[in-house]
């Protein structure tokens, strides 16, 4: 399965279209612990401030001073692995 990464009007948000239903709408933030393995994995990436899941996409928001470079590749791998099962 292929994940498509798209920019958004918000420079601190990136949309990952996975092409299958991801459930939701659901939002994960560090201040509200979750037992959802996907939410935990994505929130564990450096600089990720929140995760929003709805329809066939996942949007990651990063902290303003964080870089997308260490996030996009690992997030894509996490999503491909999770939704390929």
For the stretch 34-66, pLDDT in tens is 899 999 999 999 999 999 999 999 999 999 999
Domain assignment of residue 21, given as a range = 4-66
Per-residue pLDDT, 23:
85
Residue 13 pLDDT exceeds 70: yes
Residue 24 within a domain: yes
Residue 71 within a domain: no
Percent of the chain with pLDDT over 90: 81
Per-residue pLDDT, 34:
87
8 Å CB contact between 15 and 5: yes
Q: For residues 85 and 69, what is the distance between their CA atoms, to the nearest angstrom?
A: 26
Read off the pTM: 0.92
CATH number for 18: 3.30.1370.70
8 Å CB contact between 74 and 60: no
Question: How many structural domains is the chain composed of?
Answer: 1
8 Å CB contact between 13 and 72: no
Residue 85 pLDDT exceeds 70: no
Q: Where would I find the H helices in the chain?
A: 37-43, 69-83
């Amino acid at each position: 399965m292929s994940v498509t990464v798209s920019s958004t009007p918000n420079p601190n948000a990136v949309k990952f279209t996975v092409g299958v239903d991801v459930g939701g709408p659901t939002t994960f933030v560090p201040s509200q612990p979750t037992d959802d393995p996907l939410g935990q994995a994505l929130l564990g990436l450096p600089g990720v401030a929140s995760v929003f899941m709805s329809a066939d996409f996942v949007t990651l928001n990063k902290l303003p001073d964080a870089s997308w470079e260490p996030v996009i590749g690992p997030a894509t791998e996490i999503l491909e692995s999770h939704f390929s099962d």
